[in-house]
Amino acid sequence: MQLSRFQKYVIVLVTLFFATDGLFAQARTIRWLRVGDLHSWYMNLGAEIEIGRTSSANEQLDGLRWEALYRYQDTEVAKGLWIGSTNYEEHLNTNIYTNKVIGVGPRSAPTDQFLPYEFKMIGRFNAPLVIVDGEAATENRLNDVVDEVDPNLVPDRMIVNKLHTSMGVSVTRKMMAFSQQNHDDYFIYDYVFKNTGIVDLDGTVVERTLTDVMFFFQYRYGFGLEAFRCVGCGWAPNNSITWGYNTVNQVIGQDPSASDFEMRAQYSWYGKHSASPFASLGAPWRNGDGHMAAPQFAGVATIHADTAPGNTADDLNQPTTTFHIGSDRGPQANNQFDANLMTRKYNAMTAGHSEPSHAELVGDGFADRFSASEFGGYAQGQGFGPYTLAPGDSIHIVLAEGVKGINRTRNFDVGAQWIRGLAGTQTEFEMPDGTIGTDANAFKDAWFWTGEDSIKQTFRLAIDNYNSNYNIPQAPPPPRIFEVQSGGDQIILSWADNATSWPNFNGYRVYRAIGRPDTTYEKIFECDLSNLVHEYRDRSVPGSALQPSKDVYYYVQSVDDGSTNDVKPGEPLASSKFYTMTNKPAELLTPAAEVLSAVRVVPNPYDIRSRSLQFGTEPAQRDQISFFGLPPECTIKIYTERGDLIDTIIHDNGSGTERWQSLTSSDQTIVSGVYIAHFEVPRDLTDVDGNVQFRAGDSITRKFIVIR
């Protein structure tokens, strides 16, 4: 078939697109920090670009999840890192650029500008092994992969990302996460920018002095994902909330000489939206339970910025730019040979401070109307410099990024009272300062604004942590192994004892959730040194013999005696719940039978042609044969019809059920034929009244047929 010129052109474009996308995909690597109450992902290309993790526009708001236990708590839309200089003689062509700017993010990551060569996760210890009914059952298998263990590391996790750039400035960034409960709502980012002259991954060196160098960070935050994901709830005004269309950006600490100067920080929140028919601050669920989908305040504090190369004193006048930048019409593209674009970018990087700030400009109005010409809303811009970097010079910058707000429990309580106030069934409300108010909207908004104090306190803790050389007290480590076993009248939990040697160790706490893992957990057990154990049998799982419970989730924490907590004295420090939280359910199985004659094999016959109608289509279910009506304990031996023993199963979980995957003890799938299952009680078993119900040696035999 003869192709037209247009068809050939389209084929070339598509080929180039996928070739470029393939190169980008090969270069992209992701690591997670998820050991505390704040979870986020990081990319080896130097910044976390928009939809950079999944490449799906449906996940535009993705990252910086707080409170991370619950779904749809993301606040990150995109980040960017730009490096700019003046009077730059380009080594790749003959041009001299008035402004040279290279960049990664917030939307694109060109493969010719930031060139990663190292990306690894260092951990103080590996993630624990978490097992439910014999299978790995933890998110950590995929999202907390440690490349290198350093027991002397102070943070729980540190991602190290090293890059060269086409400008000759090499970048080392370290992202640190802490799981100690007073410090688990922020990450600390440590950057070193060094003029190495290395301009490619081959190590080519172009020595030059770089003038008026600016390091520019961009943070685009969005809020209310939970409202947007609640289809049919009438909760979110529209999906523009997750783009950051109504995000409000505040800046504090621009003038270090001011009498009220405390810190240098920028933070953002969900502003009022004109399309919402009710008081929308915080995105409350007006047609539901009233809780806010956007209680978070997210932002960045500057902890340290070198005064100059060779002068490591913290320059309180840095950053020199704290200006809101348009997420759509701002110079967001990255092209290191477009002179006009680079000048626009450099002008944004050196824009100085916004006075008044974006938050002050929006005031009490609707944030989306302020953003009418910027349909993506406005992002935080943060520029450090200008610096002169001779060959070998470097600049050190340290930042803390955090998210905070009212916690989930308080959020639901405030929401419920707000709904009652709107309905007229509640007329008085306790405000955050302890006074009594009568306006439901003012009550809800006052509690929302407590998040502003919370994010500032989060920044203070991060700054204190850095100033102490990261010498914060540590919680005991989590158990190295946590195992959960479903049973008939109980679920058995057991864990390793490695934490007992930790200074001031004092015991464990066990928490449980029913139905789903991303919900509020209740404490069901705790022990201290006076009654220390490493096993707990959960006999209080909701359910009955007629309707056993389903989907039970757990985590266990190691705790100290509270003597080391320097923020809340006396409150025990606890290992992070995310280390041992199960992501596969345990369940209360059918109760054990009272007589051996109740034993049966299901299905019988087992017919491969009907496997989808039996126990399910998952790989672990397709060849499953179940034994029902068992005593609490028995040994099951399976023989061929001619008497060859092919497998032995120890049933000891106290239930009346055992599952078998139709495999021999050598992991071979059994063939068609007649099989014999022999069930024998290993010891005397008593009922709840102490009467012997089964005697050692009691046995019964069942035949079953397999058709393949």
Q: Is 210 in contact with 29 (CB distance < 8 Å)?
A: no
Return phi, psi of residue 610, to 5°: -115, 20
Which residue in 108, 122, 120 sits closest to 47, CA to CA? Answer: 108
**Which pLDDT band holds residue 538 (cuts at 50, 70, 90)?**
very high
| Average pLDDT of span 679-704 | 95
Cβ neighbours of residue 443 closer than 8 Å, sequence gap 6 or more: 414, 417, 418, 421, 429, 431, 437
Which residue in 193, 217, 211, 198 sits closest to 396, CA to CA? Answer: 193
What pLDDT was estimated at residue 189? 98
**How much of the chain, in percent, has pLDDT values that exceed 90?**
85
Q: Is the pLDDT of residue 619 over 90?
A: no
What pLDDT was estimated at residue 591? 85
Q: Is the pLDDT of residue 543 over 80?
A: no
What pLDDT was estimated at residue 613? 59
Distance CA 186, CA 462 (A): 7
Q: Is 32 in contact with 39 (CB distance < 8 Å)?
A: yes
Judge if the upstream peptide bond of residue 432 is cis by omega within 30 degrees of 0. no
pLDDT tens digits, one per residue of 152-175:
999 999 999 999 999 999 999 999
Q: Which residue did the predictor score with more confidence, 554 or 231?
A: 554
Q: Is the pLDDT of residue 224 over 80?
A: yes
Which residue in 656, 663, 662 sits closest to 693, CA to CA? Answer: 656
Strand order through the sheet with 634-640: 606-607, 699-707, 673-680, 634-640, 645-651
**How much of the chain, in percent, has pLDDT values that exceed 70?**
94
Q: How many beta carbons lie within 10 A of that of residue 679, not counting itself?
A: 22
Across the chain, what does the average pLDDT equal?
A: 92
Distance CA 236, CA 296 (A): 16
**Which pLDDT band holds residue 615 (cuts at 50, 70, 90)?**
low
Q: Is the pLDDT of residue 3 over 70?
A: no
pLDDT tens digits, one per residue of 175-194:
999 999 999 999 999 999 99
Q: Is the pLDDT of residue 703 over 70?
A: yes
Q: Which 3-state string (H, E, C) describes 198-238?
A: ECCCCCCECCCCEEEEEEEEEEEECCCHHHHHCCCCCCCCC
What pLDDT was estimated at residue 456? 98
What pLDDT was estimated at residue 547? 52
Q: Is the pLDDT of residue 350 over 80?
A: yes
Q: Is the pLDDT of residue 9 over 70?
A: no
pLDDT tens digits, one per residue of 232-246:
888 999 889 999 999
Judge if the upstream peptide bond of residue 603 is cis by omega within 30 degrees of 0. yes
Q: Is the pLDDT of residue 594 over 60?
A: yes
What pLDDT was estimated at residue 274? 93
Which tokens in the block code for residue 380?
A: 């935080």
632: left (phi over 0), alpha (psi -120 to 50) or beta: alpha
Kind plus residue range of the DSSP H or E element containing 645: strand 645-651
Place of tokens 């000048």: 343
Q: Is 1 helix (H, G, I), strand (E, B) or coil?
A: coil
CA distances from 178 to 374, 465, 472, 556 (A): 36, 10, 10, 18
What pLDDT was estimated at residue 549? 60
Return phi, psi of residue 210, to 5°: -100, 130
Distance CA 125, CA 130 (A): 15
Distance CA 63, CA 72 (A): 10
What pLDDT was estimated at residue 278? 85
The structural domains of the chain, ordered by start, are 5-125+148-404 (no CATH), 408-467 (no CATH), 481-580 (2.60.40.10), 596-707 (2.60.40.1930)
pLDDT tens digits, one per residue of 331-340:
999 999 999 9
Q: Is the pLDDT of residue 4 over 80?
A: no
Q: Is the pLDDT of residue 302 over 90?
A: yes
Q: Is 295 in contact with 339 (CB distance < 8 Å)?
A: no
**Which pLDDT band holds residue 558 (cuts at 50, 70, 90)?**
very high
What pLDDT was estimated at residue 57? 87
Q: Is the pLDDT of residue 2 over 80?
A: no
Q: Is 264 in contact with 258 (CB distance < 8 Å)?
A: no
Number of residues in the chain: 708
What pLDDT was estimated at residue 234? 86
Distance CA 113, CA 101 (A): 10
Q: How far is CA 221 from the centre of its chain?
A: 16
Q: Is the pLDDT of residue 314 over 50?
A: yes
Which tokens in the block code for residue 86?
A: 């003046």
